[in-house]
Structure 1
């Protein structure tokens, strides 16, 4: 189980990652060591361990960050824990390998939501809290039109060309590229979403979209998984905006209802990217308070 170090191809944007060969298979991960307490982040669709999104709240609070690439993303193959339960167990093995014996919180972002929930359900002795951000739940997702488009754009024969076209658009006509991509990420008219974006927000999104890849991971995310929300006993915060065009707000409501110790925190963000909302500083403060709060027995 020796680690194989590797630097991401894009310097200055992507962060250093490592691949370790576990019994479950190879797993790419990023470990940012800080304090004794650790937070595990399961990234969303089209992301990977080398791309950071919304992690500052944990880093600034002094938490060690462990971010694995989910199956099919980055350098984690689909053969490593193809199912969400399988990869939750692989992440447990990764934590054991790294000497992480307690996780202050597991964070599930967007398509990483089911893996985070499953990790909490399957390993309550390891996971103290659960945080879900713009997370997919167990309602039907995505809709038929989006599913058909995903199979056309992110299949093995087309995925590379799709993202090459996005990168070219971001380089040559970034405003047009942002309008095209944000159109499906907000329920608001895209012109209104663009109007309120700051220069910094635009730069953040352009950089993010320019380095995304789907690999075989996004289509794998569309596979159904067992609903284990009833098995989650940890304190949970579900953060979402009603203006999310990618993951309907109903997912957040459903997760909050199904997880018995969950609290819903509504965001004022105009799109799926809650970290760009005007109230994110206040939400970040709620997250810090949540992480510092007492953890009672899960009752399991």
Structure 2
């Protein structure tokens, strides 16, 4: 997709804006690059415009554009003003959860609806932060270089290893049940991944006051998600006034694949369309 660079008061932000119709703001999750597509581009064929903004540290968006979720929410509003967009529906994926929350809580007049897809609603655990600093700090490029090399040489092994961190099931058993399309989804997701400086920012994000969110919320979470536990769905529900939790019929953090994935797609589309 064609990327646009916009100079804000805090730094450069990369975004793309495509399609016609009501605008959906897509905030991708951790390790996602401009090339990562978890199926959301299909929303353009359903009558929506898709505004995809790369979060700080990812792609060509400067870290200074928002070191905290609240700071970047302010930068997002600057972009909406620049594009003359009055209101958006927001999709926040995985570690983009705090940014989606901050935007909806701080700027209720700019957010029509909020979709939280396996999205973080609680602080990261200490052990996760330690591992992230080790793998995605100074050694980030080497980490992803190794993963992508191994992905070409022994893709099954790499994808099973990644799945083990995303599911409460036994990874080998789950992998054996995946369709060829689902395996291709995981392969492409990993091939397009790059953390930059973004993921180390993600794990430090504080959570804004969720009770201030006025927009209707759809939280889509899988009970077998190992990386974002279902308890975070309960936390979202218990701290907001107008929130529906949809139990995504998925076997891992990757709620966009599996035999029941069309139901996840249909639920999102129903929520955004009405």
TM-score bracket, normalised by the shorter chain, equals over 0.9
Question: How far has the Cα of 1:145 moved from its partner?
Answer: 2.8
Cα deviation 1:13-54 (Å, max 9, x = unaligned): xx332211122321011211222x100011100013332223
Counterparts of 2:270 and 2:192, CA distance in 1: 32
**Could you tell me which residue of structure 2 aligns to residue 186 of structure 1?**
167
Aligned to 1:100: 85
Structure 2 residues not aligned, in runs of 5+: none
Counterpart residue number, 2:17 = 31
Number of equivalences: 274
Q: 2:65 aligns with which of 56, 65, 80?
A: 80
Partner of 2:26: 41
CA distance in 2, matches of 1:57, 1:33: 10
Give RMSD over aligned pairs: 1.3
Q: Does 1:127 align with 2:111?
A: yes
Q: Residue 108 and residue 93 in structure 1: after superposition, are their counterparts in 2 closer, same or farther (change >3 A)? A: same
Contact kept in structure 2, 1:45 and 1:214, CA below 8 Å: yes
TM-score (norm 2): 0.96
Deviation at 1:239, TM superposition (A): 0.2
| Alignment of 1:58 onto 2:43 | yes
* C-alpha deviation, 1:57, in angstroms: 5.1
Alpha-carbon shift at residue 125 of structure 1 (Å): 1.2
Offset of residue 144 of structure 1 = 3.0
Residue 282 of structure 1 aligns to a residue whose secondary structure is helix
CA distance in 2: counterparts of 1:287 and 1:150, whole angstroms: 30
Matched, 1:250 2:231: yes
Residues 92 and 50 of structure 1: CA distance in aligned 2, closer, same or farther (over 3 Å) = farther
Deviation of 1:207 after TM superposition, in Å, equals 1.4
Q: Distance in 2 between matches of 1:16 and 1:176?
A: 33
- Structure 2: how far apart are the matches of 1:189 and 1:115? 32
1:57 and 1:132 map into 2 onto residues whose CA distance is 18
Deviations 1:201-240 (A, max 9, x none): 1112111101211111101111141432010011110001
Q: Deviations over 1:119-139 (max 9, x none)?
A: 11111111111100000002x
Which stretch of structure 1 is more off in the superposition, 187-196 or 22-31?
A: 22-31
